[in-house]
Structures are given as C-alpha cells and as structure tokens.
Chain A
Amino acid sequence: MFGCSCSSVSVCQWLARPSVKPFIGEVISGGIDSVQLDPWYSPATQVRFKVLESFGTDQPRPVFVMRVSPTAGMCSPMPYILGRRYLVFPRTVHEGEESLCGFTGRLVEESAAEVALVRDYYASRNRYRLRGRVAASSHESYVELSLLMGESRPPKGVRVVATQGESSYTALVDDRGEYEIKVPSAGDYRISVSSPAYLPLEPFSVAVPAAGCAIRDIALSTGNTIEGQLRDPDGKLLSVGTVTLRDADPAPPGRRPFELRAYASKSEGSRSRTSLLENTP
C-alpha cells in the first residue's frame, strides 16, 4: 500500500537531497492545458518542459518530460499550467525510498527568493543559510498562513540575529515578512529577535545543516488587545456581531491587506475582544 501525509516540502529540504536536480522550465505541453481543467482533478499524466536553467548537473537537457501521477493530486493540486514557468524538483520514487507527496514545483513569478536561493546554492555562494518568515501569530506553525491570509502583516523594523561564539550575523525582515541569514558554516546558532514594537522573545537555537538550509518561522506577540461592546442604536447590548479591523496601508506586493476579525458572543456578554494587533512602528 502507498500512503502519504499532506505536508509541503521546503526548498531547504529539497536541496538536502543530492539526487534531486532542480531546473527552471516552461510548460510547453501536457499538464493543465485548458481553463476547463481543474488542477485538483487533473487527468494529465505528463508535463513537457522546455528547460531554461538546470542545476547540479553537467548534462542539462533541453526538454524534460515529467510523469505526474494521480497520487500527487491526492494531497495537493497539480498546477503545471501551459505557458507558465516553474522551479521544478523532479523526483524518482524507488521502492523503499521515502515518498514525498504533493505538488513539488514553484511558480517562478511568485517565488523569487526561492529561485535566488537555488541559484546561489548551486553556485556555492553563501551555501549555509537560515531563513524563515516572521509575523504576529499565536504559534510559529501559523506564521505562513497568517501572512498568506492577511491576518498578520509583515512586521517592520524586526531584526533577526544568529550568534555562534563571538560572531553574529544579522538580517532585517523584508516587506514580505521573510528573513534570510547567510552564515559561514554549518552548526548550531543562537537566534534572537529584536523589535521595539513586539514583546521580547526568548532566544532559541537552530541547527544549520551541511546540506540544504535551515528554515525557522518566528511568531511574535504584541500583547495588545482591544476590548469593547456592541450596542444597537437604542443602547441595547448586542450578543452577536463581527468587528473587523482593517489597515488602510496598502498591502505589500503579493499579500492581502491586514484584516482581523473578532466575534462577539453571548458567553462574553457581548464583549468583543481581539489580540495580536499590529503595532505602529
């Protein structure tokens, strides 16, 4: 029997697999070649790429034909759309090898940082890296989703510092909420985060591997809350309602505007309480 769990594989995890030779390719046939096809239920069995850039091989192919199986669609869609360019991590699943489920490509136009990472990695420049996303969130595992859904906006003025011995390496979180620290060698690094707009975070350790790179998302907390009541025009308390906080600032490219909803409930006696509010830097 074949089975898989639905978790995405990061670029760092792909780079740690020397047998996987990524490439950037444009879909020239196969895949999703009609607007009538739903990537979640694609009948496609193969995708033909015109290879534009190859990594980790001395014998690049001009064309790469990749078999895609219904199994991939079980855990994720298969959105190799005709005419679009992807960073592809082709894999071969042998008997006994760990199976990696799901769509493994990255749309180039939406993955500039990951494309740059792969290029640098194979050019052996700044080989050791620690990267991740930072946002106000209740847990680090929700950071990516919070940024994607617009429930948290990329924090401004946040520095992430990696320390090993007497040496420190710093990165500023960018306007997408991402950071990347280039370090000179593999090993354990002590990570600290500094920002006047968020509550202090206890330093923690991250191991940067010899192959691939380390990913660590960071959840910040403001400790801010807004609390109040909903009342109808006659002054009567309302027990149900939705309060939406919106930011008038334009959202960064590729991100939804910051928006956070709080729901008044009977159990709270019509009080609406919300937290994780962004600070004004």
Chain B
Amino acid sequence: MEPQRPSEVSSNWDSAYYPLGSTREKAQAIEITGPGQQVKGLVIVPGPPITYRRLAIRVRFPDGKPMTTARVRITGNNWEEIVFYLPTQKQPWGQFPVPANRKIRVEVTDSWKRDLKREYAAEFDAGTTAIEKDFVIKP
C-alpha cells in the first residue's frame, strides 16, 4: 500500500490536510510514480484561524547558569516544534509562540544525548494566558 503523503498548512491558520476537511488519517496520497512528473492545480485549504500564546522557558542548573546544550521539544495535538534554546547572560529565557487551542507539552533533553538521570517535562492546558516554565537541571 502506498504511504500517504499529506500536505499540511501552517501560518496563522490551523493546520489541515489535503484534500479539504481531511484529518491526518484520511489525508489523500499524492502519488509520484516516476521521474519528471508534474502535479498541478492542487488547492489546499487550511483550518480555521488560530491564535498563539507566549511560552517562555528557562533551562538552568542549580547554580543559575543556563544549560546551553538544552534541546527543547514542544508538542501539541498534531503540532510539534523542536526549538533552539540559546540563552544569553542578559536574556536567559527563550520565548516561543504556541497554539492557544492545544494542550502543550514541553520536554527538555540534552542535545548531545547525555543522560539527565530523570525526565524534565511539563504540560499545559489550552488557554490564552502566557506560560512561563523554569526547568532546573540537577547534574
């Protein structure tokens, strides 16, 4: 069976799949069978407009120094971002927009795959208020 190759649109509109109104499971496959094939006339319609909320994250060690190797993965229902957390002395917080209409999960791991000994994660219900989360990594 051919794998499905859904088309997803994201901007200030919610994501959606091709064709109109389909879910990820019902997305239509766009079949490419050989070299030089041109598929034209595809019309993609995104979901309804959505708003974003501010997510502020700080990842630090107990002595206050930022964890500059942190890898932050932010997921929601059918939405995912892996962000670069690049703190500076003046700005230890990283700020990211996240969809307001989804429950959000934030996970912190080490970008060099070192064992952090325990899970560092937090979940936030859908809402419009800004989120602040301070992760303290114990070496």
Contacts and interface: CB of A to CB of B under 8 A. Distances in A.
Range, interface on chain B: 35 or more
A244 B40 contact: no
Contact of A228 (B32, B37, B43, B112): B43
A148 interface: no
Interface in B18-70: 30-46, 48, 61, 65, 67-69
B7 interface: yes
Interface string A192-206: 000011110000000
B33 A39 contact: no
Contacts, number: 120
A68 to B, nearest CB: 16
A240 interface: yes
Range, interface on chain A: 35 or more
Interface of B: 2-11, 13, 30-46, 48, 61, 65, 67-69, 110, 112, 114-116, 137, 139
A223 B33 CA distance: 12
A35 interface: yes
Given A36-B139, A232-B45, A242 B10 contact: yes
B65 A36 contact: yes
A69 interface: no
30 contacts: A32-B112, A34-B139, A36-B61, A36-B67, A38-B68, A199-B36, A224-B32, A225-B39, A228-B44, A229-B43, A231-B45, A232-B13, A232-B46, A233-B45, A241-B10, A241-B46, A242-B9, A243-B9, A244-B9, A246-B5, A246-B6, A246-B8, A247-B5, A248-B3, A248-B5, A279-B33, A279-B34, A280-B31, A280-B32, A280-B33
A111 to B, nearest CB: 15
Given A35-B116, A196-B34, A226 B11 contact: no
Contacts of A36: 61, 65, 67, 139
A278 interface: yes
Contacts of B10: 241-242, 244
Contact of B46 (A197, A230, A247): A230
Contact of A223 (B5, B35, B48, B69): B35
A166 interface: no
